[in-house]
Amino acid sequence: GQQVMQIPQYQHVQEGEDFTTYCNSSTTLSNIQWYKQRPGGHPVFLIQLVKSGEVKKQKRLTFQFGEAKKNSSLHITATQTTDVGTYFCAADRGGNTPLVFGKGTRLSVIA
Amino acid sequence: GAGVSQSPSNKVTEKGKDVELRCDPISGHTALYWYRQSLGQGLEFLIYFQGNSAPDKSGLPSDRFSAERTGGSVSTLTIQRTQQEDSAVYLCASSLQGEGTQYFGPGTRLLVL
């Protein structure tokens, strides 16, 4: 079935360093969503990307959707300890089908 | 309510017992999902309800798992004859439409002894 590959699985950074997680699909997506799960918490919606080549920013977070709508990335500039958690992408294949979540990237930030 | 609620928040059971987990979605949300998350792992899709359509059960790991959604609102996930490998956090999410933003509940942490 549909798979969404997300890399890396883990990332450890020093506070102030940048961080990027990538999400790749073998098929064209209708849209892609990003979620953040803090340790001990539940996933919380961050953003949805719909258009080919779309770029959206939320403060230090930059989200991109590839031109072919098959891949996406989340980039965090100058990480802070509050960025710690697992970041999931979720792919929408269109139609009445459920979202497909990537396995997530767990970010650790060392102060 | 303001968000998705789940009960119980924690459940400890003995191997072989049946358990029922409940999810109250956000009022008006037509789509409801169940996921399972083992410690430190990703989200494992279990089942998806969308309006009056037949549920997508493709993620249920075995026939010991079943789910209902009554009246298009509350959902119950039932695990029969629980096994130790069923221990995990079970998360419920709802959305306005099938492809919309998902709002997650706090989860039920299940421990099978």
**Binning pLDDT at 50, 70 and 90, where does residue B70 land?**
confident
Residue A26 has pLDDT above 60, yes or no: yes
Residues of A in contact with B43 (CB under 8 A): 43, 88, 101, 104
CA–CA dist B73, B105 (Å, integer): 14
Question: What tens digit of pLDDT does each residue of A35-54 get?
Answer: 999 999 999 999 999 999 99
Across the interface, do A98 and B105 touch by the CB < 8 Å criterion?
Answer: no
Residue B12 has pLDDT above 70, yes or no: yes
Chain A residue with minimum CA distance to B49: A98
CA–CA dist A40, A49 (Å, integer): 27
CA–CA dist A110, B63 (Å, integer): 44
Q: Which of A58, A56, A100 is nearest to A83 (CA)?
A: A58
A33 touches chain B (CB under 8 A): yes
Q: What is the mean pLDDT of residues B86-105?
A: 89
Strand runs (DSSP E) across chain B, as ranges? 5-7, 10-13, 19-24, 31-37, 44-50, 65-69, 75-79, 88-95, 103-104, 108-112
Across the interface, do B45 and A88 touch by the CB < 8 Å criterion?
Answer: no
A47 touches chain B (CB under 8 A): no
Question: What tens digit of pLDDT does each residue of B32-68 get?
Answer: 999 999 988 889 999 999 888 889 999 999 999 999 9
Chain B residue with minimum CA distance to A6: B42
What percent of chain A lies above the pLDDT cut of 90?
82
Inter-CA distances, B73 with A101, B61, B70, B92, Å: 23, 24, 6, 12
Question: What tens digit of pLDDT does each residue of A89-108 get?
Answer: 999 877 667 788 999 999 99
B63 min Cα distance to partner chain A (Å): 20
Q: What is the pLDDT of residue B42?
A: 86
Query: Between A48, A98, A103, which is nearest B101 by CB?
Result: A48
Contact B38, B91 (CB under 8 A): no
- Pick the more confident residue, B52 or A75: A75
Q: What is the pLDDT of residue A3?
A: 79
Peptide bond into B8 cis (omega under 30): yes
Residues of B in contact with A30 (CB under 8 A): 99
B104 touches chain A (CB under 8 A): yes
Q: Which of B18, B14, B21, B13 is nearest to B105 (CA)?
A: B21
A23 touches chain B (CB under 8 A): no
Residues of B in contact with A69 (CB under 8 A): none
Residue A17 has pLDDT above 80, yes or no: yes
Q: What is the pLDDT of residue B51?
A: 86
| Structure token pair of residue B17 | 């017992």
B18 min Cα distance to partner chain A (Å): 25
B42 min Cα distance to partner chain A (Å): 5
Residue A24 has pLDDT above 80, yes or no: yes
Q: What is the pLDDT of residue B98?
A: 59
Q: What is the pLDDT of residue A96?
A: 67
